[in-house]
DNA sequence: ATCCTCCCCTAC
DNA sequence: TAAGGTAGGGGAGGAT
């Protein structure tokens, strides 16, 4: 009712813009935008222009001209397949020159010069590769070396401890299959290296949010921004693929054909798979650094565990840290205990399992990690690599089923009931197959967990990691759960954990027998109920294949330092533009706007411990719900500014700013009575 | 009761 | 030096 009125009203209010864009034009634009996302997904961002290499699967060995990346793009553009490793389905090896010793090992697959590819493209058709053989005397009787099969026997309750040992062996096998020409030690650093030696050049002036291109620069370097936006994209993508699906699943068909078994599954309970890349960012980085396999490695911006000895000014961190500790939730774990005056506060995005043995964790400050493990090596970020591997991961799973709930760029839930039924495979065989395939096409390891619901699948993955698989079967659930530490449950973070510990609860077994009322009084009604169920392995939430966005936001809590009010206003304008652009991208409008500010806490020092960080802050929000639909950057700015003035902070104390839009409505919902009404109404005007 | 606003918490 | 984002669930407490 109210919606209808608002809908027609907003069309009139925005008439000028609608005339410019055109209602049909909008639909067309959004359709094109969606098509582009799908298309980029299918080709990994490369537009497909021909099918010259249909049926061809290359593996590049050694240095080539054009280089490997180029060849990979060419294959994508011309209908071929690129293999990171040589596997049984690899049809050609591309190489410019190879030592004799190596040729012996490559077996029966033809070794072809890269010019075969480039010239085939020039001619517009697939040329006979035999005219491009690198050597003509290849033996046809050499045994072929396939990629090592990733079979880790399904872990049982007893052999959990052996997991990491068998993994080390596998890593060694893997590194032998990686080309040494890709080794690039330039960007590898040891955390114990002296940063003053590494960095002699004079410092550029500090870039803060007051600088004109700050927002772009920041987003280009923010891993959290990257994983957030990638995650949202994959949720959207699953929906789009389901809408567009022709019901064919080539991966599944192929699997039925090659490994399918006839099995009488009279009555099969549904099986949920959870799949998650192992130390995702590290895995991607290691593809080009085989020499670091098996070593403790972390992905960070900083290269050394110590900050330079002569920063322009020595900052006293003690005051801030004291305040931080004071404000920690009672009993929660501190992040700064090992951070002294010179320890780096650059965050570790991902660390290898070898690093985890030292107690290093994702999200830990590098300075603390370096103390735990002085041999720790760091690698820089490779955002393009993460995007590529994520795309390949989703593309691979989507060739079997679209019953996918995207969780993040390296993780999803999949209903595999149908796949198991149609292929007749056991859970174990399916798991080995899909893990092997993902390793083959991405060069990265992943782990999978299976269970009757998402919680069981999620916990099974935890047990499976790294490079493993585990099926938590119905009969085992009760016993299995009793031993699980509460910290392993999704939804139990540091604050909840501290509260539960204060109640003397540490494992799911403890919660199973504890009083619901007592738990609820500590952590809340709903959370208590959920926790009770989780502790017995129950989870009633079904997988959600369709995702509907409820809010859109943009926030920056780094580099916020304003010397004038003008600088602040300019940044609010930039952020308004940014959040508008995101709203526009998903074809929505909003009725509610929330401004969130981080303001330096009263006793917190002006200079933060972390370079350009936010330090200890108070968080303040204010929101407006208006009848006027928010669909214009100037409206967003005007509302933002007005909320800002209501909060009225000291602008020089600002340390973080965010704008969130909620109460969203679709601009042009298709195939609904409402949209038909709006559309006709709009055109009639 | 139910809704709204301003939080807090969690997961990647 | 360093790039501490983003979306969703949910609770407290006041307004309706
Ligand atoms: N605090 C964090 C947590 C995660 N990530 C990024 C880097 C991770 O590689 C990626 C995936 O997160 P996961 O929780 O899946 O962690 P990993 O894949 O690194 O390790 P695991 O093997 O435990 O899944 O997200 C991050 O930047 N900062
Ligand atoms: Mg992972
Ligand atoms: Mg993950």
Looking at residues A195-211, what average pLDDT do you find? 74
In whole angstroms, give the CA distance from residue A519 to residue A515.
6
The domain boundary, picked from A121, A140, A159, lies at A140
DSSP codes joined into one string, A253-310: HHHHHHH------SS----EEEEEETTHHHHHHHTT-GGGTTS-EEE-S-SSSB--S-
How high is the pLDDT of residue A143? 33
Distance A594 CA to C14 C1' (A): 19
Q: pLDDT tens, A515-548?
A: 999 999 999 999 999 999 999 999 999 999 999 9
Considering the domain architecture, whether residues A525 and A594 belong to the same structural domain is answered as no
How high is the pLDDT of residue A45? 67
Active site residue A411: yes
Looking up residue A638, the CATH number of its domain turns out to be 3.30.1490.100
Q: Which nucleotides of C are covered by protein (CB under 7 A)?
A: 1-12
Q: Is A361 in the pocket of ligand 1 (CB under 6 A)?
A: no
Distance A281 CA to ligand 2 centre (A): 8
**Torsion over CA: A530, A535, A538, A542 (sign):** positive
Token pair listed for A277: 């890349």
- pLDDT band per the 50, 70, 90 thresholds, residue A136: low
Q: pLDDT tens, A313-356?
A: 678 999 999 999 999 988 889 999 999 999 999 999 999 999 99
In whole angstroms, give the CA distance from residue A382 to residue A492.
31
Going by C-alpha positions, the residue among A469, A464, A511 that lies closest to residue A486 is A511
Q: pLDDT tens, A378-434?
A: 999 999 999 999 999 999 999 999 999 999 999 999 999 999 999 999 999 999 999
Distance A551 CA to ligand 2 centre (A): 25
Distance A414 CA to B11 C1' (A): 18
**A234 and A411 in contact (C-beta within 8 Å)?**
no
Token pair listed for A91: 């049809």
Distance A605 CA to B8 C1' (A): 24
* Nucleotide with smallest C1' distance to residue A663 CA: B4
The domain boundary, picked from A110, A140, A170, lies at A140
Considering the domain architecture, whether residues A572 and A490 belong to the same structural domain is answered as no
**Does the bond joining A406 to the residue before it have cis omega, within 30 degrees of 0?**
no
Considering the domain architecture, whether residues A584 and A654 belong to the same structural domain is answered as yes
Run of H or E including A591: strand A588-600
Looking up residue A507, the CATH number of its domain turns out to be 1.10.150.20
* Nucleotide with smallest C1' distance to residue A408 CA: B12
Strand A297-299 to A377-379 pairing: parallel
Token pair listed for A121: 């493209």
From the CB of residue A269, how many other CB atoms can be counted at a distance below 10 Å? 7
Q: Is A279 in the pocket of ligand 1 (CB under 6 A)?
A: yes
In whole angstroms, give the CA distance from residue A462 to residue A449.
8
Q: Is A227 in the pocket of ligand 1 (CB under 6 A)?
A: yes
Run of H or E including A168: helix A163-176
Percentages helix, strand, coil for chain A (3-state, rounded to 5) are 45, 15, 40
How high is the pLDDT of residue A156? 33
Number of domains in chain A: 4
**pLDDT: is A203 or A162 the higher one?**
A203
Residue from A234, A287, A350, A381 whose mutation best tests the ligand 1 pocket (most atoms within 8 A of CB) = A350
Going by C-alpha positions, the residue among A521, A523, A488, A526 that lies closest to residue A507 is A488
How high is the pLDDT of residue A415? 98
Give the range among A108-122, A137-151, A304-318 with minimum mean pLDDT.
A137-151
Looking at residues A277-297, what average pLDDT do you find? 97
Inside any domain, residue A110: yes
Which residues place a Cβ less than 5 A from the ion ligand 2? A 276-277, 280, 410
Inside any domain, residue A153: no
- pLDDT band per the 50, 70, 90 thresholds, residue A654: very high
Three-state DSSP at A123 gives helix
Considering the domain architecture, whether residues A49 and A100 belong to the same structural domain is answered as yes
How high is the pLDDT of residue A167? 32
Distance A345 CA to ligand 1 centre (A): 18
Looking at residues A74-100, what average pLDDT do you find? 82
The domain boundary, picked from A324, A351, A379, lies at A379
pLDDT at A612 over 70: yes
Considering the domain architecture, whether residues A629 and A562 belong to the same structural domain is answered as yes
The CB-side HSE value for A609 (13 A sphere, CA atoms) comes to 24
Considering the domain architecture, whether residues A373 and A292 belong to the same structural domain is answered as yes
Distance A280 CA to ligand 3 centre (A): 8
- pLDDT band per the 50, 70, 90 thresholds, residue A97: confident
Inside any domain, residue A8: no
Three-state DSSP at A178 gives coil
Q: Is A223 in the pocket of ligand 1 (CB under 6 A)?
A: yes
Considering the domain architecture, whether residues A28 and A136 belong to the same structural domain is answered as yes
Distance A13 CA to B2 C1' (A): 32
How high is the pLDDT of residue A31? 61
From the CB of residue A215, how many other CB atoms can be counted at a distance below 10 Å? 18
Considering the domain architecture, whether residues A497 and A585 belong to the same structural domain is answered as no
**A364 and A302 in contact (C-beta within 8 Å)?**
no
Three-state DSSP at A6 gives helix
Q: pLDDT tens, A31-52?
A: 666 666 676 676 666 777 888 8
Q: Is A276 in the pocket of ligand 1 (CB under 6 A)?
A: yes
**Torsion over CA: A96, A102, A103, A108 (sign):** negative
Run of H or E including A616: none
- pLDDT band per the 50, 70, 90 thresholds, residue A217: very high
Inside any domain, residue A432: no
Closest Cα to atom 17 of ligand 1: A279
ipTM score for this prediction? 0.98
**Torsion over CA: A61, A65, A68, A74 (sign):** negative
Catalytic residue, candidates A411, A437, A555, A639? A411
User: What single DSSP character describes residue A503?
Assistant: T
Ligand nearest, relative to CA of residue A281: 1
Considering the domain architecture, whether residues A658 and A608 belong to the same structural domain is answered as yes
Q: What percent of chain A has pLDDT over 90?
A: 65
In whole angstroms, give the CA distance from residue A555 to residue A81.
39
Inside any domain, residue A472: no
DSSP codes joined into one string, A512-546: HHS-HHHHHHHH-HHHHHHHHHHHTT---PPP--S
Distance A524 CA to B7 C1' (A): 15
How high is the pLDDT of residue A255? 97
Inside any domain, residue A421: no
Inside any domain, residue A83: yes
In whole angstroms, give the CA distance from residue A616 to residue A638.
29
Return the bridge partners of A406, or none: A412
In whole angstroms, give the CA distance from residue A433 to residue A151.
9
In whole angstroms, give the CA distance from residue A557 to residue A614.
6
* Nucleotide with smallest C1' distance to residue A579 CA: C6
| Domain boundaries, position A593 | 551-666
Q: Is A252 in the pocket of ligand 1 (CB under 6 A)?
A: no
| Residue listed under structure tokens 């060694």 | A172
- pLDDT band per the 50, 70, 90 thresholds, residue A12: very low
Looking up residue A321, the CATH number of its domain turns out to be 3.40.1170.60
* Nucleotide with smallest C1' distance to residue A274 CA: B12
- pLDDT band per the 50, 70, 90 thresholds, residue A83: confident
**pLDDT: is A685 or A655 the higher one?**
A655
Considering the domain architecture, whether residues A641 and A562 belong to the same structural domain is answered as yes
The pTM for the full model equals 0.78
| Residue listed under structure tokens 């350009």 | A612
Considering the domain architecture, whether residues A503 and A555 belong to the same structural domain is answered as no
Inside any domain, residue A42: yes
- pLDDT band per the 50, 70, 90 thresholds, residue A309: confident
Q: pLDDT tens, A371-389?
A: 999 999 999 999 999 999 9
pLDDT at A22 over 90: no
How high is the pLDDT of residue A197? 59
pLDDT at A514 over 90: yes
Looking up residue A39, the CATH number of its domain turns out to be 3.40.50.10190
Closest Cα to atom 19 of ligand 1: A279
- pLDDT band per the 50, 70, 90 thresholds, residue A107: low
Considering the domain architecture, whether residues A502 and A593 belong to the same structural domain is answered as no
In whole angstroms, give the CA distance from residue A241 to residue A250.
14
Looking at residues A178-207, what average pLDDT do you find? 67
Q: According to DSSP H, which parts of A536-632 are helical? A: 565-585
């Amino acid at each position: 009712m109210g919606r209808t009125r608002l809908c027609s009203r907003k069309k009139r209010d925005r008439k000028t813009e609608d005339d410019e864009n055109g209602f049909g034009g909008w639909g067309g634009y959004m359709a094109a935008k969606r098509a582009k996302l799908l298309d980029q997904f299918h080709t990994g961002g490369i537009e497909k222009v021909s099918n010259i290499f249909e049926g061809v699967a290359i593996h590049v060995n050694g240095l080539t001209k054009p280089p490997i990346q180029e060849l990979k793009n060419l294959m994508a553009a011309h209908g071929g397949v690129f293999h990171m490793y040589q596997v049984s389905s690899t049809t050609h090896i591309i190489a410019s020159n190879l030592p004799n010793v190596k040729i012996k090992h490559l077996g029966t697959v033809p070794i072809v010069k890269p010019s075969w590819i480039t010239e085939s493209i020039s001619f517009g058709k697939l040329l006979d590769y035999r005219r491009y053989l690198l050597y003509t005397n290849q033996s046809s009787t050499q045994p072929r070396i396939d990629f090592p099969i990733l079979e880790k026997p399904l872990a049982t309750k007893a052999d959990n401890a052996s997991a990491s040992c068998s993994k080390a062996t596998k890593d060694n096998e893997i590194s032998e299959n990686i080309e040494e020409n890709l080794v690039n030690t330039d960007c590898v650093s040891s955390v114990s290296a002296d940063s003053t030696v590494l960095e002699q050049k004079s410092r550029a002036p500090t870039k803060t949010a007051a600088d004109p291109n700050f927002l772009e620069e920041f987003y280009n370097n923010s891993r959290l921004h990257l994983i957030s936006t990638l995650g949202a994209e994959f949720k959207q993508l699953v929906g789009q693929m389901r809408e567009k699906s022709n019901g064919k699943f080539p991966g599944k068909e192929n699997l039925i054909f090659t490994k399918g078994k006839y099995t009488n599954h009279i009555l099969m309970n549904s099986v949920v798979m959870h799949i998650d890349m192992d130390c995702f960012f590290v895995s991607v980085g290691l593809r080009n650094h085989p020499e670091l396999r098996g070593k403790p490695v972390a992905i960070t911006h900083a290269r050394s565990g110590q900050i330079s000895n002569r920063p322009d000014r020595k900052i006293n961190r003690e005051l801030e840290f004291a305040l931080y500790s004071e404000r920690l939730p009672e009993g929660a774990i501190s992040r700064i205990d090992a951070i002294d005056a010179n320890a780096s506060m650059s965050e570790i995005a991902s660390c290898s399992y070898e690093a985890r043995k030292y107690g290093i964790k994702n999200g830990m400050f590098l300075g603390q990690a370096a103390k735990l493990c002085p041999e720790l090596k760091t690698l820089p970020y490779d955002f393009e690599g993460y995007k590529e591997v994520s795309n390949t991961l989703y593309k691979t799973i989507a060739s079997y089923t679209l019953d996918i709930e995207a969780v993040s760029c390296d993780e999803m839930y999949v209903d595999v009931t149908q796949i198991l039924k149609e292929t007749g495979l056991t859970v174990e065989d399916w798991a080995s197959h899909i893990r092997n395939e993902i390793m083959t096409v991405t060069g990265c390891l992943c782990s999978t967990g299976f269970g009757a619901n998402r919680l069981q699948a999620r916990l099974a993955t935890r047990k499976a990691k790294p490079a493993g698989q585990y099926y938590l079967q119905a009969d085992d659930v009760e016993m299995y759960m009793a031993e699980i530490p509460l910290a392993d449950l999704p939804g139990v973070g540091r604050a909840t954990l501290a509260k539960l510990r204060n109640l003397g609860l540490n494992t799911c077994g403890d919660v199973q027998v504890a009083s619901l009322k007592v738990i609820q009084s500590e952590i809340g009604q709903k959370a208590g109920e959920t926790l009770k169920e989780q502790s017995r392995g129950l989870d009633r939430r079904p997988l959600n294949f369709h995702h509907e966005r409820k809010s859109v936001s943009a926030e920056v809590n780094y580099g916020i330092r304003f010397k004038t009010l003008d600088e602040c206003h300019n940044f609010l304008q930039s952020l308004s533009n940014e959040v508008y652009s995101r709203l526009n991208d998903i074809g929505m409008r909003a009725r509610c706007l929330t401004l969130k500010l981080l303001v330096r806490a009263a006793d917190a020092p002006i200079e933060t411990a972390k370079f350009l960080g936010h330090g200890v802050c108070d968080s303040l929000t204010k929101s407006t719900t208006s009848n006027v639909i928010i669909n214009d950057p100037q409206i967003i700015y005007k509302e933002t500014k007005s909320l800002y003035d209501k909060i009225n902070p000291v602008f020089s104390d600002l340390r973080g700013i965010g704008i969130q839009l909620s109460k969203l409505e679709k601009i042009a919902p298709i195939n609904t009575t409402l949209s038909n009404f709006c559309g006709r109404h709009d055109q009639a005007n």
